[in-house]
């Protein structure tokens, strides 16, 4: 079993997220990012600019169609309001919910109700967040992805060839922006092994946590200067949206201002390392922390150590998630990392110990015991190959270290024990940038192997 499995982990393709041009999809949940069309608009790439025009032209076509055949336009808009294949958003089930007839009609009615949109159409799809109740960032992302689906199919095929990602022949439907019709095709695409549904890959350069144009920014940075807000009066969101529909020039002015600030609009990475200053603060907090469970010190140790290790070990190791389990009535906390095989040590762990993921067990104890080591050893049996790490506060007693040697000699299990002194060294390496913190783990591994019988 793989914890929080990704597409590449399932297929034993251990490339790092930092290497890939696309956001590596999770198999059980969405990637918590959204496609922001503004990034395509401001991109130096003519291809991206052209794709943004394609999104806008296709959506404005629906506005034109709405005047001729309301039901046909509504039907198309409902169909493209979700794009499950890209797996973007916050769904824990990989499936979103399409909009209904009422909302589709409200959206398309802006082409009739707002004179400026009636004359020239939309220039940015994100403006709908400022006009329609419950039209959120996930709708912007999903509708954009559907209009770009033809491109995303070709892009996915190229990336699958580059990284040897297995594909299967599947039927897929997309809205063709040239013929302005839905097209069905049978193509070789990657498939989610759980749901058997096709997967489309999305370039990382298009993704943000929040669109550059969004309601909260509009409210806080722009409309908040209105007299009512200055007087301390609360304005219901629905009133603001209604005001916007009658005063569309306000939105146009907001968009123009955001366009002038475009140099500040950047894509969001899937993971951001904490700065060196923060790492030093976290180390100081850990060193001051008492061992044991007094005042929930064990939980505090986990809370501080988790982001610290995730940052210091990136990009060699992508952090998967923390998890808790109970063994013999004792709560055990782990940190799980994807093994990207991006370092010689990780390659050896992957090949020799068959560890696709690396488990780091956290022990805020004064003294780690053989019982702790044996608990991790049994856990490795089931899920994580034959390699594991225990992070604890003090150096292990000799008998415990000898126990880890015995496990290697008898079962070829490798369990490394790192303590506060190793953490200090990792933080120093992280600060001076001369080497990588994972080299400290490599050093412990070399020392361990030297102690093992030949």
- Determine contact, residues 168/105, Cβ cutoff 8 Å: no
Given pLDDT bands bounded at 50, 70 and 90, which one contains residue 340?
confident
- pLDDT value at position 381? 67
For 249-269, what is the mean pLDDT? 94
For residue 329, is it left (φ>0), alpha (ψ between -120 and 50) or beta? left
CA atoms within 13 A on the CB side of 215: 18
Q: Is 166 helix (H, G, I), strand (E, B) or coil?
A: coil
- Average pLDDT for residues 411-427, to the nearest whole number? 96
What letter does residue 18 receive in the DSSP assignment? T
| Pure H helices in 69-214 | 70-79, 101-113, 115-120, 137-147, 149-163
pLDDT in tens, 342-392: 899 999 999 999 998 999 999 999 999 999 999 899 888 667 899 999 999
The Cα 435–Cα 181 span in angstroms is 55
Q: What is the dihedral of CA 98, 100, 106, 110, to 10 degrees?
A: 40
pLDDT per residue over 196-233, tens digit each? Answer: 999 999 999 999 999 999 999 998 777 655 565 556 66
User: 6-29: per-residue pLDDT in tens?
Assistant: 999 899 898 889 899 999 999 988
Q: What is the pLDDT of residue 351?
A: 92
Q: Which pLDDT does position 119 carry in this prediction?
A: 95
Token pair listed for 365? 């104890």
Peptide bond into 293 cis (omega under 30): no
pLDDT at 140 over 60: yes
Secondary structure class of 397 (helix, strand, coil): coil
Residues forming beta bridges with residue 417, ordered by sequence position: 390
User: How far is the C-alpha of 307 from the C-alpha of 368, rounded, in Å?
Assistant: 23
Angle at CA 356, nearest 5°, toward 358 and 275? 45
What average pLDDT does the chain have? 92
pLDDT for the residue numbered 373: 93
What would the pLDDT profile of 280-295 be if each residue is shown by its tens digit? 999 999 999 999 988 8
- Kindly indicate the confidence band of residue 131, based on its pLDDT and cuts at 50, 70 and 90: very high
For residue 336, what pLDDT band results from cuts at 50, 70 and 90? very high
How does pLDDT run across 288-323, given as a tens digit for each residue?
Answer: 999 998 888 998 999 999 999 999 999 899 998 887
For residue range 79-93, list pLDDT tens digits in order: 999 999 999 988 777
Q: Which of 111-115, 287-291, 327-331, 393-397 has the lowest mean pLDDT?
A: 327-331
CB 380 within 8 A of CB 404: no
Res 227: pLDDT:
61
CA atoms within a 13 Å half-sphere pointing along the CA-CB vector of 74: 13
Instruction: State the residue for tokens 């009422």.
Output: 102
Instruction: Dump pLDDT digits (tens) for 383-418.
Output: 789 999 999 999 999 999 999 999 999 999 999 999
pLDDT of residue 236 exceeding 90, the answer is: no
């Amino acid at each position: 079993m793989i914890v929080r499995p990704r597409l590449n982990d399932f297929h034993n393709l251990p490339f790092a997220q930092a290497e890939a041009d696309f956001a590596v999809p999770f198999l059980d949940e969405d990637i918590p990012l959204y496609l922001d069309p503004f990034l395509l608009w401001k991109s130096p790439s003519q291809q991206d600019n052209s794709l943004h025009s394609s999104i806008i032209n296709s959506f404005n076509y629906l506005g034109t169609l709405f005047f001729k055949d309301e039901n046909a336009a509504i039907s198309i808009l409902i169909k493209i309001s979700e794009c499950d294949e890209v797996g973007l958003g916050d769904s824990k089930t990989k499936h979103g919910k399409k909009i209904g007839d009422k909302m589709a009609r409200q959206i398309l009615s802006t082409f009739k109700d707002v004179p400026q949109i009636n004359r020239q159409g939309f220039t940015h799809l994100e403006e709908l967040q400022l006009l329609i109740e419950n039209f959120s960032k996930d709708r912007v992302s999903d509708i954009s992805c559907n209009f770009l689906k033809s491109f995303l199919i070709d892009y996915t095929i190229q990336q699958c060839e580059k990284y040897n990602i297995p594909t299967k022949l599947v039927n897929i439907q997309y809205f063709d922006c040239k013929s302005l019709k839905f097209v069905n095709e049978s193509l070789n695409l990657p498939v989610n092994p759980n749901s058997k549904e096709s997967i489309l890959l999305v370039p990382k350069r298009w993704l943000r946590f929040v669109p550059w144009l969004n309601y909260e920014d509009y409210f806080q940075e722009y409309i908040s200067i209105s007299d009512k807000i200055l007087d301390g009066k609360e304005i219901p969101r629905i009133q603001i949206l209604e005001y916007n529909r009658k005063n569309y020039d306000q939105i146009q002015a907001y968009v123009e201002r955001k366009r002038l600030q475009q140099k500040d609009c950047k894509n969001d990475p899937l993971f951001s390392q904490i700065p060196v200053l923060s790492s030093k603060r976290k180390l100081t907090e850990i060193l001051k922390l008492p061992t044991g469970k007094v005042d929930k010190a064990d939980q505090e140790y986990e809370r501080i150590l988790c982001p610290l290790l995730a940052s210091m070990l990136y990009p060699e190791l992508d952090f998967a998630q923390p998890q808790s389990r109970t063994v013999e009535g004792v709560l055990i906390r782990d940190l799980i990392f994807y093994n990207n095989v991006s370092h010689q040590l990780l390659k050896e762990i992957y090949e020799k110990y068959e560890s696709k993921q690396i488990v780091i067990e956290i022990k805020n104890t004064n003294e780690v015991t053989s019982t702790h080591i044996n608990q991790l050893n049994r856990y490795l049996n089931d899920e994580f190959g034959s390699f594991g790490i225990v992070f604890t506060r003090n150096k292990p007693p000799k008998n415990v270290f000898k126990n880890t040697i015995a496990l290697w000699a008898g079962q070829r299990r490798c369990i490394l024990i790192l303590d506060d002194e190793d953490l200090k060294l990792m933080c120093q390496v992280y600060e001076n940038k001369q080497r990588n913190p994972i080299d400290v783990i490599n050093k412990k591994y070399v020392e361990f192997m030297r102690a093992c019988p030949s």
